Chain A
Amino acid sequence: MADEKTKSNRLELAIAFLIAVVSLTTALAAWRTNAVGSKAGDAARLGLIDAVKKQATTNEDWRRLYEQAGYAQSYAVTLAGIEAMEASGDPVAAAQAVNLRDFLLKGIVQLADPLATDPKYQLDNGTYDLEQYFTDIQAEAPDLLALDPQASFRLSEQYSSEQRWLMLGTVLLALSLFWLALSQVGGSRLRLGTLGIGVIIFLIGLAWFFFVEVLFFFLRGGAL
């Protein structure tokens, strides 16, 4: 009788020790799951910030493009008018054209620079290559051009996916804790059964947790 009681006390002590280990493991797993979720949130937040910055830059680039396009068009239209005056054969118009070239066109061309002055933007039909100019404007800020919100979103989704599977591991660990607690407080007849279930769930949860961590560690190219 006394021997059985000693045995039972030892088992209770072992279960108590196991509960302490599983509690600590569950707490760490919960922390890691939340940390991964937080990283997913951080990546999504960074992606949104990058998207706003990139879009604001693009908006400014479009504004500059159409502003320049308007000036360049004014230059081309004014020049066409002057050329028509020069070709009219009318001496008054020809004299006006000389002065318009000297005083008006020079001012307009300054505004239209570089779209109307750089040969690389000139098209054969007398218009300007707006796409090339837009590409060049964007290239002026390579750091902003390099912003890739989609890359941040992909990283965020990967962390979210990991969080999803880590959560499963954490739940398993929490469940094992429940079963271990049940074996501690339950009657001696059920103790070994519930203890066995608890230990098995704990080991499965732990193995699952490490498997998910290792898998996503390699999927991210070595980043935790």
Chain B
Amino acid sequence: MSETMIGHTGQSPESPPPLVETPAARPVENTERWKMMIIFLTMVNTILVAIIAGLQTDANIRANDANRDSQYYAVLTSGELQRIGLQNNYDMNTYARILDNTSRSLVMGYTGLQLTEGGDDQGAAFSNVQALVAQAQADAATKFSIFYQDPRYAPKSSDAQPELQRYIDDSNTEALALLAKQNAASDSYKIWSGKSDSYVAVLTILAIAFFLFGIAQSVNPRLRLLFAGFGIAVIVLGVGWALSILIG
């Protein structure tokens, strides 16, 4: 047995000790070195993940709320536009009726005068009655018209016309206000949805940091530092991105 060993090393018992370094001669490596630091970094990463997960949820909820608001305002805007259409139709028909009857009354009155001058008294009387009827109808329609009853749009003098442009502008005010709210909600949705998506990307990056720290725990101390460095770099990248999302 001893001979076999001698033969194996190629040395006799009298030979000088071998120059090859034996494992026992190597300096003892502390395999637990830097592990506490890795645990601390992992703890920091977990806290960051918790914060960013909370921010992601918050952004997602805000995106959902804004999405809902944009749809709600779209419904209200369409309803208001329909109401404006109906009201404008009614008001313009009333105004057209006034103009029609007023013109008819004037024409019939003028025709009556022409017939009187021509000696046709019966025709003139008939025409004058028509003028009276048309004027009565114009007066009745005037009571229903916003263009004559509302001081905002009523003619400022007997020769003037109603303020049609102001009426149109005022009619659209509510719809435009709702549209502005709808656009604002849509913009808000876009912003928060983008933030929510970006936070998911940051969480993925921090998950990579977890992986790197996990690897760091299981390798030798020199490689441990290298992986810890990679992990720190990834955390810095993730935190920087998260801050830019938060501020932006």
Query: Which residues of A line the B interface, CB within 8 A?
Result: 40-41, 44, 47-48, 51-52, 55, 58-59, 62-63, 65-66, 69-70, 73, 76-81, 83-85, 88, 90, 92-93, 125-127, 149, 153, 156-157, 160-161, 163-164, 167-168, 171-172, 175, 178-179, 182, 186-187, 189-190, 193-194, 197
Contact = CB atoms under 8 A, between A and B. Distances in A.
Given A77-B141, A126-B140, A66 B86 contact: yes
A164 B61 contact: yes
Contact of B54 (A92, A171, A179, A190): A171
A153 B89 contact: no
20 contacts: A40-B61, A41-B64, A55-B79, A59-B83, A62-B83, A65-B86, A66-B90, A69-B90, A77-B140, A80-B137, A81-B134, A84-B136, A85-B129, A85-B132, A85-B133, A90-B125, A90-B129, A93-B129, A149-B72, A156-B65
Contact of B68 (A48, A59, A80, A126): A48
Contacts of B193: none
Interface stretch (B8-16, B42-50, B194-202): B42-50
A125 B49 CA distance: 71
A171 B75 contact: no
Contacts of B36: 190
Nearest to A185: B217
A167 B57 contact: yes
Contacts of B46: 175, 178-179
B35 A73 contact: no
B188 interface: no
Nearest to B51: A171
Contacts of A127: 143-144
A201 to B, nearest CB: 9
A80 B129 CA distance: 13
A65 B89 CA distance: 12
A81 B42 CA distance: 91
Contact of B86 (A40, A63, A81, A156): A63
A59 B80 CA distance: 8
Nearest to B84: A62
Contacts of B53: 167, 171
Contacts of B141: 73, 77
Contacts, number: 130
Interface of B: 32, 35-36, 39, 42-43, 46, 49-50, 53-54, 57-58, 61, 64-65, 68, 71-72, 75-76, 78-79, 82-83, 86-87, 89-90, 93-94, 97, 101, 125-126, 129, 132-137, 139-141, 143-144, 217
Given A55-B76, A62-B83, A127-B143, A70 B54 contact: no
Given A73-B144, A81-B137, A85-B133, 12 more contacts: A44-B64, A44-B68, A70-B90, A80-B137, A80-B139, A93-B129, A156-B68, A164-B57, A167-B53, A175-B49, A189-B32, A197-B43
Nearest to B130: A93
Contacts of A90: 125-126, 129
Given A62-B82, A160-B64, A194-B39, A153 B72 contact: yes
Contacts of B83: 58-59, 62
A70 B136 contact: no
Contacts of B61: 40, 160-161, 163-164
Contacts of A55: 75-76, 78-79
A157 B75 contact: no
A36 B94 CA distance: 54
A164 B82 contact: no
Q: Sort A-B residue pairs by CB-CB distance and give the 6 closest, nearest first.
A: A84-B136, A80-B140, A55-B79, A167-B57, A66-B86, A160-B61
Nearest to B71: A48
A83 B71 CA distance: 52
Given A41-B64, A62-B83, A80 B50 contact: no
Given A62-B82, A182-B42, A160 B129 contact: no
